[in-house]
């Protein structure tokens, strides 16, 4: 049953909008099949089961489904799940978020629309999203590759330039992905002798210090979640962190088969953990946490190495997606780097233009101050190295 009477009528496509719970069995089956065939890094977020998961944990933020049909045969050729939420242009000092400008948003789940890569199809879909709610200020796409068709469309479409300002939060940033080796033997063979020795030494030093062997716990079942929440409490991770879900949300994620987390222990001592999501053949790591008192033992690298060994052994995935930022452990034989950006389409209005311009000025000043402070610190260190020690 359609929830909106307007159906966009392009030259080659029709577009309709549905509530997720109102879909017919046939349409949901087509959605499942197209989602299964999707190769985007965020494919898991475009699946029917993920939209169902969201509606169960977040009743305040409804999920709509934009469906695009091929006019020639009437078959659905793309599904774009969208969530009504809020986007934040944050104020921050170091790693602490101090609030920000809150904008009413429509989030494109999975970021890149799973539709035919034509300007006509994209125009029809974005036109329908524009008409969903006139109060919406922003369309939020959290991770758009710089070399993707989506980015090419956004920057060259007459429709987008007429209706939106484009803003890339923090600019395009490096995103690391890791191709998972076929076996532990092939992985070890790809490392230099020195690298193999250093990785082993770090682990042995940690075990010698704590007097017991390390153990890694794989968590993707509700029954194992107690290990994860013990780790969250032990390492005093604030519940306000973006990656930290409630116990009921993690339990639902396990029930739907999305969650895959790891906890590293030495005996009963919790050393660290990682939060992640299964996305078909890709394992997406959202965040690493570890006991900073063991930083001199390269605990973060050891945690990642133990996880990588488990991923190689289980053979469930072909790639690890680290998301934004550069991991501490980088190795050219496995790591690839892709530029991605959190793209915001800001609806054109005088108010939104003023808010966006104000935030851009703030970001520019913050960046200059950060650069000045960093340069001053580097100059001070150089002077100290040149200054002779007193006799």
Q: Name the band, by pLDDT with cuts 50, 70 and 90, for residue 334.
A: low
Q: pTM (2 decimals)?
A: 0.83
Residue 284: what pLDDT? 92
Which range of residues forms the domain containing residue 152? Answer: 8-172+342-348
217 occurs within a structural domain: yes
Banded pLDDT at 3 (limits 50, 70, 90): very low
Please write the tens of the pLDDT for every residue from 373-382.
777 777 777 7
Tell whether the model's pLDDT for residue 72 goes beyond 70. Answer: yes
State the total domains in the chain. 2
Give a yes or no: residue 33 inside a domain: yes
CATH no. for residue 145? 3.40.630
Residue 367 falls inside a structural domain: no
- 21 lies in some domain: yes
Residues 149 and 29 in one domain: yes
In a shared domain, residues 125 and 185: no
Average pLDDT, integer, range 313-332 = 77
User: Residues 222, 293: one domain?
Assistant: yes
Paired tokens of 126? 């974005």
Predicted confidence band of residue 8 (pLDDT cuts 50, 70, 90): very low
In a domain, 126, yes or no: yes
Q: In this structure, are 28 and 48 located in the same domain?
A: yes
pLDDT at 335 over 80: no
Residues 246 and 118 grouped into a single domain: no
Same domain, 162 and 199: no
Residue 329 has pLDDT above 90, yes or no: no
Is there a domain that residue 328 lies in?
no
The CATH number linked to 219 is: 3.40.630.30
- Assess if residue 188 is contained within a domain: yes
**227 & 153 share domain:** no
Highest-pLDDT range among 89-98, 221-230, 326-335? 221-230
pLDDT value of residue 385: 65
92: CB partners within 8 A, 6+ apart: 98, 100
Same structural domain, 272 and 132: no
Could you read off the pLDDT of 172-217 as tens digits, one per residue? 999 888 899 999 999 888 888 888 888 888 889 988 998 899 999 9
Do 168 and 214 belong together in one domain? no
Q: Is the pLDDT of residue 368 over 90?
A: no
In a domain, 374, yes or no: no
151 and 214, same structural domain?
Answer: no
Q: What is the pLDDT of residue 324?
A: 78
Residues 213 and 304 in one domain: yes
Report the C-alpha gap between 124 and 308 in whole angstroms: 42
Q: Check residues 44 and 377 and name the one with the higher pLDDT.
A: 44
Kindly state whether residues 243 and 100 are assigned to the same domain.
Answer: no
């Amino acid at each position: 049953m359609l929830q909106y009477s307007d159906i966009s009528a392009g030259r080659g496509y029709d577009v309709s909008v549905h509530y997720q719970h109102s879909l017919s069995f046939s349409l949901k089956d087509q959605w499942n099949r197209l989602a299964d065939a999707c190769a985007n890094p965020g494919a898991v977020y475009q699946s029917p089961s993920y939209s169902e998961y969201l509606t169960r944990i977040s009743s305040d933020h409804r999920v709509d489904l934009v469906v695009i049909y091929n006019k020639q045969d009437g078959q659905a050729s793309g599904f774009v799940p969208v969530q009504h939420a809020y986007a934040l242009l944050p104020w921050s000092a170091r790693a602490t978020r101090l609030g920000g400008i809150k904008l009413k948003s429509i989030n494109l789940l999975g970021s890149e629309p799973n539709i035919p890569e034509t300007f006509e199809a994209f125009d029809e879909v974005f036109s329908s999203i524009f008409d969903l709610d006139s109060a919406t200020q922003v369309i939020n796409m959290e991770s758009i590759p710089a070399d993707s068709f989506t980015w090419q469309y956004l920057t060259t479409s007459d429709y987008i330039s007429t209706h939106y300002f484009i803003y890339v939060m923090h600019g395009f940033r490096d995103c690391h992905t890791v191709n998972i080796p076929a076996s532990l033997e092939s992985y070890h063979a790809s490392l230099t002798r020195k690298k193999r020795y250093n990785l082993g030494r770090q682990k042995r030093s940690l075990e010698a210090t704590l007097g017991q062997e390390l153990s890694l716990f794989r968590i993707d079942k509700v029954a194992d979640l107690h290990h994860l929440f013990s780790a969250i409490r032990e390492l005093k991770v604030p519940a306000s962190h973006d990656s930290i879900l409630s116990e009921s949300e993690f339990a639902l994620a396990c029930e739907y088969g999305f969650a895959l987390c790891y906890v590293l222990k030495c005996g009963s001592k919790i050393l660290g953990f990682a939060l992640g999501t299964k996305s078909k053949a890709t394992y997406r790591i959202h965040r690493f946490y570890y006991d900073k008192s063991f930083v001199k033992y390269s605990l973060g690298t050891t945690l990642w190495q133990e996880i990588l060994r488990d991923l190689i052994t289980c053979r469930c995935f072909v790639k690890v997606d680290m998301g934004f930022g550069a991991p501490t452990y980088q190795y050219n034989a496995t790591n690839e780097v892709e530029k991605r950006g959190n793209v915001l389409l800001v609806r054109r209005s005088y108010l939104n233009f003023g808010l966006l311009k104000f935030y851009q000025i703030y970001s520019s000043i913050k960046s200059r101050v950060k650069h000045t402070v960093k340069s001053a610190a580097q100059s001070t260190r150089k002077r100290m190295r040149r200054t002779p020690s007193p006799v």
